[in-house]
Amino acid sequence: MDKTLIQDLYYSMLLGRHFEYAAKENYFQGNISGFLHLDIGQEGLSVGSMKAFKGDVFTTYREHVMALSRGMSSKSVMAELFGKIDGVSEGRGGSMHMFSPSLNFYGGDAIVGGHIPNAVGCAYARKYQGINTGTMVIFGDGATNCGGFFESINIASSQKLPLLFLCENNKYAIGTHIDKVSAFSQQAKKVEAYMPTIEVDGMDVLAVYEAISKAGEYIKEGKGPIFVEAMTCRFEGHSISDANKYRSSEEMQRCKKLDPLIKLKPLLEEDLLKKIEEQVIQEIEDAVAFAQQSPDPSLNDLYKYTLTEEGLKHAL
Ligand SMILES: Cc1ncc(C[n+]2csc(CCOP(=O)(O)OP(=O)(O)O)c2C)c(N)n1
Ligand SMILES: [Mg+2]
C-alpha cells in the first residue's frame, strides 16, 4: 500500500486518539457539557472507513474521529464540543451533532438506529438524481436490533439502492453484551438473505480501508446494497458517565492488545512517528486554545433554526 496513505491513516488515527483525550480532560474541567461518547480504540474503523469512502455519510453519536477524518478541522469540532459559535454546528449541537453538508457528512445522530432510514432516503434520492457517489451508513451492533434497521435493509435491497451498511460490532450496547439481546453475535446473519456481506477486522485500519473501498465500488455498480461488519472494541466506557464496570480487566487487556495504532506503527520509521506525534499534539493544543477563545452563540439567535415564529423569520 502507498506510503503516503499509510502515513495519512496513522496521522488521522493518532489525531483522533489525542482529540478524544483532550475532549475527556476538558469535560472534567467543565469546559464541555452534555453527552460525550469517546471513540478511543475504534479509530481504525472510523479513519479507515472515512478515508476510503467519498460519498454521502450518516453516522451515530460516536462520530468525532469520523468528522475529523472526513475533513472537518480539529478546531471546528473542538469548538462544537465547547458549545461555541465557531463549532461546525455553531455550538448548537455538541458532541452528537457534527454535521457538514459541504462535506456530505450528515451527522451525528442521538437516536439509536434513527439515522439508518435517513440514509436509505438519501441513497434513494441520489439514485433518482442520477448521482452515483453512493451512501454509507455507520451504526452499532445494538442498532441492528431496531425495527428501522430491518425496514431499511428490506427497502434498500428491494430498490437496489447504492447503500453501504457498515456495522461497528463492539459487542456492547452501553453495558449490555450482545449475546443477551441479539439472536446472533454476528450481525451479518440478520442480513444475508437481503444482500452480500463482508466481515472485516475493525482494529486493522488497512483491512478496513480495503474492505470499504471494495464495498464502495460494489454499490456504484448498481447491483444494490452491501453490508460490512467490522469487529471492533472500545477502550473506554460507553459514554463519559459510564465507569465500564461490566467488563473484566482480562477482557480489557485482550481488547487493548488489538490497538489499531500499535498495529500500524511497524510500517513507519521511528523518526517519522515522532514527527507525527509532535504535529498531532500541536494541532490538538491549537484546537483547544481556539475553542476556548471562540465566543458563545448570541442569545439573540436562540430561536434561529427552531420551528417557532422567531425561527421562521430567520428561515424566510
Ligand atoms: C432509540 C434509542 N433507544 C435507546 C437509546 C439509548 N442508547 C444510547 S446508545 C445505546 C446503545 C447503542 O449500542 P450500539 O448500537 O451497539 O452502539 P455503540 O454505542 O456500541 O457504538 C442506547 C441503548 C437511544 N439513544 N435511542
Ligand atoms: Mg455496540
Residue type, 254: R
In Å, what is the CA distance from 32 to each residue of 75, 89, 237, 300?
14, 15, 17, 22
Nearest CA to ligand 1 atom 8: 112
DSSP 210-271: HHHHHHHHHHHTTS--EEEEEE---SS-SSTT---TTS-HHHHHHHHTT-HHHHHGGGS-HH
Whether residue 314 is predicted with pLDDT greater than 80 in this model: the reply is no
Which of 45, 58, 174 has the most ligand 1 atoms within 8 A of CB, as the residue to mutate?
174
| C-alpha 215 – ligand 2 centre gap (Å) | 22
Q: How far apart are CA 117 and CA 153, in angstroms?
A: 9
Q: What's the structural domain count of the chain?
A: 1
What is the arithmetic mean of pLDDT over 32-55? 97
Query: Is 233 exposed, middle or buried (CB count within 10 Å of its CB: 0-12, 13-18, 19+)?
Result: buried
Task: Give the range of the structural domain holding residue 71, as residue numbers without chain letter.
Answer: 3-315
pLDDT digits (tens, 9 = 90+) for 214-240: 999 999 999 999 999 999 999 999 999
Work out which ligand 1 atom sits closest to the CA atom of 141.
16
Cβ–Cβ contacts within 10 Å for residue 259, how many? 19
Whether residue 70 is predicted with pLDDT greater than 90 in this model: the reply is yes
| C-alpha 300 – ligand 1 centre gap (Å) | 34
pLDDT for 305 equals 86
Nearest CA to ligand 1 atom 21: 140
Ligand nearest to the CA of 66: 1
Nearest CA to ligand 1 atom 18: 140
- Whole-model pTM: value is 0.97
Ligand nearest to the CA of 145: 1
Choice among 86-90, 297-301, 309-313 with the minimum mean pLDDT: 309-313
pLDDT for 1 equals 79
Work out which ligand 1 atom sits closest to the CA atom of 60.
21
The helix (run of H) or strand (run of E) holding residue 130 is none
| C-alpha 127 – ligand 2 centre gap (Å) | 30
Work out which ligand 1 atom sits closest to the CA atom of 238.
19
Q: How far apart are CA 125 and CA 31, in angstroms?
A: 40
pLDDT for 296 equals 97
Q: What is residue 105's DSSP assignment?
A: B
| C-alpha 61 – ligand 1 centre gap (Å) | 9
Position 54 confidence tier, pLDDT thresholds 50, 70, 90: very high
| C-alpha 143 – ligand 2 centre gap (Å) | 8
What is the arithmetic mean of pLDDT over 48-62? 98
Whether residue 52 is predicted with pLDDT greater than 80 in this model: the reply is yes
Nearest CA to ligand 1 atom 11: 173
pLDDT for 313 equals 83
Q: Look at residue 138 and give its three-state secondary structure.
A: strand
Kindly report the CATH number assigned to the domain that includes residue 170.
3.40.50.970
Position 67 confidence tier, pLDDT thresholds 50, 70, 90: very high
Work out which ligand 1 atom sits closest to the CA atom of 170.
20
Q: What is residue 112's DSSP assignment?
A: T
315/208: higher pLDDT: 208
pLDDT digits (tens, 9 = 90+) for 263-305: 999 999 999 999 999 999 999 999 999 999 999 999 998 888 8
| C-alpha 306 – ligand 1 centre gap (Å) | 26
Give residue ranges with CB within 6 A of ligand 1: 60, 62, 110-112, 140-143, 168, 170, 172-174, 238
Which of 112, 145, 182, 190 has the most ligand 1 atoms within 8 A of CB, as the residue to mutate?
112
- What the block records as the C-alpha cell of 206 is 488497512
Ligand nearest to the CA of 143: 1
pLDDT digits (tens, 9 = 90+) for 149-182: 999 999 999 999 999 999 999 999 999 999 999 9
What is the arithmetic mean of pLDDT over 132-149? 97
Please check whether residue 136 is in contact with residue 164, taking contact to mean a CB–CB distance below 8 angstroms.
Answer: yes
pLDDT for 251 equals 97
Ligand nearest to the CA of 238: 1
Whether residue 316 is predicted with pLDDT greater than 80 in this model: the reply is no
Mean residue pLDDT across the chain: 97
Please check whether residue 61 is in contact with residue 95, taking contact to mean a CB–CB distance below 8 angstroms.
Answer: yes
